[in-house]
Amino acid sequence: EKRERHRQRQNRERMGNCFVLLLLGAMVMGLCIGFNEAQLAHDYYRLTCPNVEDIVTQELLSIFVIDATAPAAFLRLVFHDCQVQGCDASILLDSDDTSEMVSSKNFGIKNREMIERIKSILEIECPGQVSCADIIALAAKESVSFSRGPYIQIPLGRKDSTTCSYRQANAHLPSPRISVDGLFNMFIKQGMTLQESVAILGNVHNLESMSL
């Protein structure tokens, strides 16, 4: 009887985790499509870098197998990038005076260097074609898929910013002391549903500890 109750509890947890991952997939779609939608296309690199997604996926898998926290880190990275100036990779810029990483709200952001490593590999394959902003978006997409979430397709064609602003990061990223209602309101302003907001709030930072 105890084993049966344990099995039922595990099944409920698996179902709950699958539901969460579906919501995370929807969140990634919302973030990655919601900004600069008009310029994006699923076949954006068809002529200039047709193997871009295969290359990014291969490099990410090599990261995921040695770092269980990487999927959660990439999901946090895409959220913090898109929340400031849109999905433009401005979070990667390291200007001493204006870097978004100066903001305390970006404390603990990881794997920026992994995006730059993948970018350097793509520069060999197709120089000057693929933006870091698209690599960040693809990393978030693959993070959901690798964590046994849905496979989602996202349009590409984002442009990298040449400017960054820690002031905007301070203004637009959530404070560690923000209330739950404040977080929900912030996510909903970005066009997310209440369910998607719950998924972000309760699970993005804990994705690495999910047991499926």
Known binding residue 71? Answer is no
Known binding residue 174? Answer is yes
Q: Does 80 qualify as catalytic in the annotation? A: yes
Known binding residue 84? Answer is yes
Known binding residue 86? Answer is yes
Known binding residue 97? Answer is no
Catalytic residue, chosen from 6, 42, 80, 205, is 80
Tell me how far the alpha carbon of residue 80 is from its chain's centroid: 8
**Residue 138 contacts by C-beta under 8 Å, 6 or more apart in sequence?**
52, 53, 56, 57, 60, 154, 156
Nearest-5° Cα angle at 82, 76 to 86? 170
Output phi, psi for 156, to 5 deg.
-125, 170
Known binding residue 90? Answer is yes
User: With contact defined as beta carbons under 8 Å apart, do 190 and 109 qualify?
Assistant: no
Known binding residue 100? Answer is yes
Known binding-site residues for substrate equal: 174
Known binding-site residues for Ca(2+) equal: 81, 84, 86, 88, 90, 100
Catalytic residues: 80
Known binding-site residues equal: 81, 84, 86, 88, 90, 100, 174
